[in-house]
Amino acid sequence: MSAPLAPRDVDPAAVLDSTQFRDAMARLGSAVNIVTTNGPHGWAGFAASAVCSVTDMPPTLLVCVQRTSSAYAALHGNRVLCVNTLASSHEALSQLFGGKTPMSQRFAAAEWTALATGAPVLRDARVAFDCRIDRVAEVGTHDVLFCTVVAIASNGGADEGLYYVERRYRRLAEAQI
């Protein structure tokens, strides 16, 4: 058994450059999702890779959203969302939801349904997590949303997942993460 490594000297006052951080994060591959909402504050959606599970009791997801996002106001007003995990065939749809495309054009590019909350569910998503937003934490330029999953729709026939790594879309077989 080897000896534990000694900690490196780190200046606690040093601030990591944001460009350096973004470049490093580009190497961390992530599933690509479209997060949607609908309700009294309107419908909206955005592409997101900052999504992960928190706990299974109660089933909870974490979703990060930039406060300048075009979906931000509707998302916070409606307090519901659906995380639609994309298949490799959804690359063009992800680009629509990740850009400045008007909401009506984003949603017109696919077929949608709804589950318990009324948030749009992509009909052919690999899996869709219908959620209620229970807690919000402000961190830097983003809000971290803690969301209780109230319903799930799974598409067993969907093709392989769509991933984003090294600033481009990849299929799992190509990602070599």
Residue 22 has a pLDDT of 78
Question: Does residue 18 lie within any of the structural domains?
Answer: no
Question: Does residue 22 lie within any of the structural domains?
Answer: no
Residue 8 has a pLDDT of 65
Whichever domain contains 74, its CATH number is 2.30.110.10
Q: Which residue has the tokens 């659906």?
A: 82
The whole-model pTM stands at: 0.86
Burial pattern 140-167, b for ≥16 Cβ within 10 A else e, equals eebbebbbbbeeebeeeebeebbbbbee
Question: Does residue 59 lie within any of the structural domains?
Answer: yes
Stretches in the chain below the pLDDT threshold 50: 174-177
What is 32-82 written as a DSSP string? -EEEEE-STT--EEEEE--EEEEEETTEEEEEEEETTSTTHHHHHHH-EEE
Residue 174 has a pLDDT of 47
- Tally of structural domains, the chain: 1
> 122 lies in which domain range?
29-166
pLDDT digits (tens, 9 = 90+) for 117-142: 999 999 999 999 999 999 999 999 99
Residue 7 has a pLDDT of 63
Residue 9 has a pLDDT of 66
Question: Does residue 54 lie within any of the structural domains?
Answer: yes
